[in-house]
Amino acid sequence: MSQILKKIITRLPPSPTGNLHVGTARTALFNYIFAKQNKGEMLFRLEDTDKARSKVEFEEDILAGLGWLGIDFDQSKMFRQSERGDIYKKYLEKLIADELAYFSKEKVEKEGDRDEVIRFKNSNKKITFRDTVRGDIEFDTTELGDFVIAKSLEEPLYHLTVVVDDFETGVTNVIRGDDHISNTPRQILIQEAMGAPQPIYTHLPLILAPDRSKLSKRHGAVSLIEYKNQGYLPEAMVNYLMLLGWNPGTDQEIFSMSEFLKEFDLNKIQKGGAIFDIVKLNWVNKEYIKKMSDVDFKKNIVDFLPEKIKNKDENLLIKILSVIKERIDKFSDVTNIVEAGELDYFFGMPDLKKEDLIWKEDGADIAKQHLDKVIEILEKIENFSSENIKENLWDYATKQGRGSVLWPMRFALSGQQKSPDPFTLAGILGKKETLERIKKAIDILC
């Protein structure tokens, strides 16, 4: 008789006490992809028992962030712990009736006038559980003592609620950060007392700052919404987060969601902390930007364009976007480029100085001679595209010295030490404007 395989069920239980953290987002992706590749399901619940700190705006941010990453789940099964008080009370009463938990008369300083809590009766034994990443882990629970599982019958605490929720929803796999390893023995004790099966545990390495400390706001953005607002692409963020703590064992660094669904393996999760490297994230994001069509690029960057260029001539703007695309790692970078005046030469003739138009030791006469020849060549070009301009000028520039020919041409068009190549500039500016700027430069050299 064939064995009936149990449906894989994972869960994501964030607390709505802050915006969606990149660490929680990474955990969500691992749970989601593992469940999906096994034809299972990821459940979502909000651990909102901290009434003072839980807020609706954080709940909305978490849901929006998951949606932005492309993580979908059955929202009809979503629930909040704050709505399940009667369920937790039932389990507490059963544990007390079975003498596995008890009311403890004591002064609880943090709770003001509270003089009793509910403690779990610890059996004081050694517990061993299997972790996918770390193998067998053993704890002596004696040191835990009789730990508190509720402030009262109406106020359950984390260790009880998480066990009840996982049990009632049939969670088979708990995939979470390894800062939860120390919570596991308490939860196993409660599972055994309730008769709940033990899920398979996978504890992920924490995401660390470059100095290997815990990632926090002092290291920059930690909330997913901040990265979205800076103009990172969701596909790039998914790609980057999936490779934090997991390695496919190959040199491949750019993955589609379908490739992750095929290649992801819990057994290839590393033990050591995963360093959050903004330079690497920027590289991954740029790789995705480079693959975008011009239409998609314009659609994505339009909200980041400053008004001073957003309302310019549509045809010119489309041409400029190709230059911007090569120079940014994320969409918000365009703001700095524009504010620094690095694109001003597209919208007006630049101010030029004679000495800036001269390549190294050439002298003004040589620079003028080359620009005269450039004009002669450009005037004969009918299809004034960047490719045709380069094709017509390249042999002359190569023969005379590319720096000697192309430097004065590029500076005449941009007035900048750094700018796109002169062929790209000329193609964007058009034949009339290009010739006018070069003639102005010749006048300055005379």
Q: Which residues are annotated as a binding site for ATP?
A: 217
Task: Give yes or no for a contact between 408 and 358, defined as CB atoms under 8 angstroms apart.
Answer: yes
Annotated binding site: 217
Whose structure tokens read 């006469």?
365
| Exposure b/e, 129-142, CB count within 10 A at least 16 = b | bebbbbeebebebe
Question: Chain-centre distance of CA 123, in angstroms?
Answer: 44
Q: How far apart are CA 444 and CA 357, in angstroms?
A: 9
Whether 94 contacts 228, CB under 8 Å: no
Q: Structure tokens of 76?
A: 């009809």
CA proximity to 326, closest of 197, 418, 247: 418
Length of the chain: 446
With tokens 């790789």, the residue in question is 287
Residue 416, exposed/middle/buried by CB under 10 A (0-12, 13-18, 19+)? Answer: middle
Residues 180-184: contacts with CB under 8 Å, at least 24 apart: 181/131, 181/134, 181/137, 183/158, 183/159, 184/129, 184/137, 184/139
